[in-house]
Amino acid sequence: MTALTIAVVARRVGFLYRLATVGEPAPERIAYARANIGAEIKAQLVEVFGQKKLLKWTPSGVAHFFVMWAFFILLTVYVEAYGAMIQGAITGRPDFHIPLIGRWPALGFLQDFIALAALLGLVAFAVIRIKNAPSKLGRNSRFSGSHLGGAWVILFMIFNIIWSLFLFRAAAINTGNFPYESGAFVSELVARILPTSSLLEEIALLLHIGLMLVFAVIVVNSKHLHIFTAPLNVLFSRRPDGMGAAQEMRSGGKVLDFEEADPETDVFGRGKIEETTWKGFLDFYTCTECGRCQSQCPAWNTDKPLSPKMLILDQRDHAFAVAPYLLMSEEQRAHAGQDVLALLEKPLVGEQGVIHPDVLWSCTNCGACVEQCPVDIEHIDHILDMRRYQVMIESAFPSEAGVMLKNLENKGNPWGMPEMKRAEWIEELDFEVEIVDEKMPEDTEYLFWVGCAGALEDRAKKTTKAVAELLHIAGVKFAVLGPMEACTGDPARRLGMEFLFNMLAQQNIETLNEAGVKKIVATCPHCFNTLANEYPQLGGHFEVVHHTQLLSHLVDTGKLTPITPIEEKITYHDPCFLGRHNKVYSQPRDIMAKVPGVTTQEMHRHKDRGFCCGAGGARMWMEERIGKRINTERVDEALTTDPDTVSTACPFCLVMLGDAINEKKNTGKAKETLEVVDVAQLLIKSIKG
């Protein structure tokens, strides 16, 4: 039985390995893991063994923690079981015990305890699945779209393994072949109701091992393959958490050089399933179908077709469907059946494709899916790769985004406004702001990266002026690029136009280096993320801070002192690219906490579970035609706190939330005095009175 099981499992594992390695190489994953072995060991201890992400969802997390540890601890039981079979066959006395520790009562207790805890965990899983069944909750169920039958089979098999474990241990106690004199409290209780029988012991032992072997075969052919692949996926995932910088565009395992790239031979994004990297296939194999990503996705929560879970599962199912062809030799392919060939011709993205275009373009890149995934699947990487192919090869993307791309290429900003307008906000200040001519002045500490919105959008300009005034009051020497500043390229990159991103980024890096810039402060989280995390990919290394980080420091050091009370109830909205992508949660809240009179009230979804405003992923420049508007959903949540003011720390969020609040005012659902402001505006208001 064991030999047959090993053969079947090995054949399946070989198939999965060969299928994954059909895809694109990803040498950077292995190189990073080798170079950062300390961080990888910590990740294994915290995420795999410590179950950190799963325990964020306490009831199901605790249940999974015990079931997972049961797999590890009960390996000792299988050592005992196989040892008893071998020893029984040789000596006729199956009283085997593990050398040195095999008769330690604490081990017997631990084995029974973890088995009982796993049994209770199965009950919890069953209750959770019944309570959240799609048949009851529809798309509000995080299990909507999951393969539910397979999950119940797994629960049933684990249940069988546990009760058969107690059966054979109890039988061994009665025959005197059990290695522990005490400690195994559950097995001892079961033994009291069983007859003493060597035959029962042998049957129970064979039954338990047989069930385990059947379970092993089921696991490698089901979503529970994650038992083995999750540690690997965590090992090769991007650090710190698969967010921050978007992945560089690669072909053949190397970063794509656009000056030498050939569309005929190089891979531009992902147009076919076989263009997925082996890490992408590992994502497919590891998805547990738990639906945590789906439950947090702003697109899914506003009735759009994007489910991060189904994005992975649809690709996985397609990969398995076309696997017979992908693994064929050239000679075999020539004689392949039409059904397989028809599957191969099915586009990865398209109206009749594996992924519908509306799924692809619904994503805001907010990172909620990556943040919540307990096995480190990187959904955004999959989406960006497919977007890159659609934009650069197929030229298939929402038409309004095309206007944005043309404006970026011709004018250096998404709105297509003249570059000289970038400095007009300075005229509204009562002090001088240094504009960099060629070199940063010697006594200037920071370059203030104003950003396109901060310079050109009326509401965002209020934040820009507030930050400039605060830096001036605090005595921080700063300068701006003015007309020399161009868009960082974030909208282009997040849309999938990597070529344009490279062009803008290299232009800006050259400008910054020639000016001698070392330290940058940015008000836009998208600019902040791009400058700090993505420009190093192209050789641009700068010390970058978000304005809330710098202002919080200035308040803490006494260089800024809020005095005038602001008697308002304020709820703060976490920008995705500041919060989840860069883990800046405390500083904006610290600023508000230092302003006298302010009462803060958190929304239900905040910090790492914050809800997107709807502008990320270049969606700021795309119409939202499907389902409820994401910004409206977020404002509805903000209104439940009955705020006087909604604060944020991002110009995109300022615009999106402001638009939704104005709609609410027009329908009488929000008070006329309600407004959206940046935390910098609150601070300057308190300081200036």
Q: What is the CATH number of the domain that holds 442?
A: 3.40.50
Q: Which residues contact 329 (CB under 8 A, 6 or more apart)?
A: none
Where residue 343 falls among pLDDT bands split at 50, 70, 90?
confident
Task: Please check whether residue 377 lies inside any domain of the structure.
Answer: yes
pLDDT of residue 337: 67
DSSP 355: B
Question: Which pLDDT band holds residue 130 (cuts at 50, 70, 90)?
Answer: very high
Q: Which residue has the higher pLDDT, 239 or 126?
A: 126
Has residue 273 been placed in a domain? yes
Residues 88 and 218 in one domain: yes
| Coil vs helix vs strand at 55 | helix
- Final residue belonging to a domain, choices 377, 397, 417: 397
Q: pLDDT per residue over 383-416, tens digit each? A: 999 999 999 999 999 999 999 999 999 999 999 9
pLDDT value of position 82 = 84
Which one-letter DSSP state was computed for residue 413? S
pLDDT of residue 174: 92
Summary mean pLDDT of the chain: 93
Q: Which of 127-131, 330-334, 471-475 has the lowest mean pLDDT?
A: 330-334
DSSP 146: S
**Number of independent structural domains in the chain:** 4
147 plus 207 within the same structural domain = yes
65-114 confidence digits (pLDDT tens): 999 999 999 998 888 888 877 877 777 666 777 777 778 889 999 999 99
Q: What is the pLDDT of residues 156-188, one digit of tens each?
A: 999 999 999 999 999 999 998 888 888 899 999
Q: pTM score, two decimals?
A: 0.93
Token couple for 289: 């179908």
Alpha-carbon Rg for the chain, nearest whole angstrom, is: 29
| Same-domain check for residues 110 and 163 | yes
Query: Domain span at residue 102?
Result: 27-233
The kind and range of the H/E element at 251 are: strand 250-251
Strands 254-255 and 250-251: antiparallel
- Token duo for residue 1: 């039985």
- What percent of the chain shows pLDDT beyond 70? 99
Q: Which of 370, 397, 424 is a domain's end point?
A: 397
How far apart, in whole angstroms, are the C-alpha atoms of residue 198 and residue 92? 11
For range 649-667, the mean pLDDT: 96
Decide: 464 and 523 in contact? Cβ < 8 Å.
yes
Q: What is the mean pLDDT of residues 447-465?
A: 97
User: Final residue of a domain: which of 215, 233, 251?
Assistant: 233
What is the C-alpha to C-alpha distance for residues 508 and 531, in angstroms, rounded to an integer?
Answer: 10
Q: What digits encode the pLDDT tens for the residues 246-283? A: 999 999 889 998 888 888 888 899 999 999 999 999 99
- Whether residues 215 and 103 fall in one domain: yes
Same domain, 139 and 268: no
Contact yes or no for 455/422 (Cβ under 8 A): yes
More confident residue, 174 or 337: 174
Q: Do residue 375 and residue 453 come from a single domain?
A: no
> CB within 8 A of 146, min separation 6: which ones?
289, 290, 291, 309, 313
pLDDT confidence of residue 242: 67
Structural domain includes residue 370: yes
293 and 166 share one domain: no
In a domain, 334, yes or no: yes
**Does residue 163 belong to any structural domain of this protein?**
yes
What is the rounded end-to-end Cα distance, in angstroms, of the chain? 81
* 666 found inside a domain: yes
Distance CA 543, CA 531 (A): 9
pLDDT at 79: 85
Same domain, yes or no: 634 and 669 = yes
Do 549 and 623 share a domain, yes or no?
Answer: no
Interhelix angle 458-474/547-556, rounded to 10 degrees, is 30
User: Is the omega angle on the peptide bond into residue 240 within 30 degrees of 0, that is, cis?
Assistant: yes
Nearest-angstrom CA–CA distance, 283 and 234: 10
Domain match, 387 and 342 both? yes
414 and 453 co-located in one domain = yes
- Partners of 251 in the beta sheet? 254
> Is residue 225 located within the same domain as residue 339?
no
- CATH assignment at residue 301: 1.10.1060
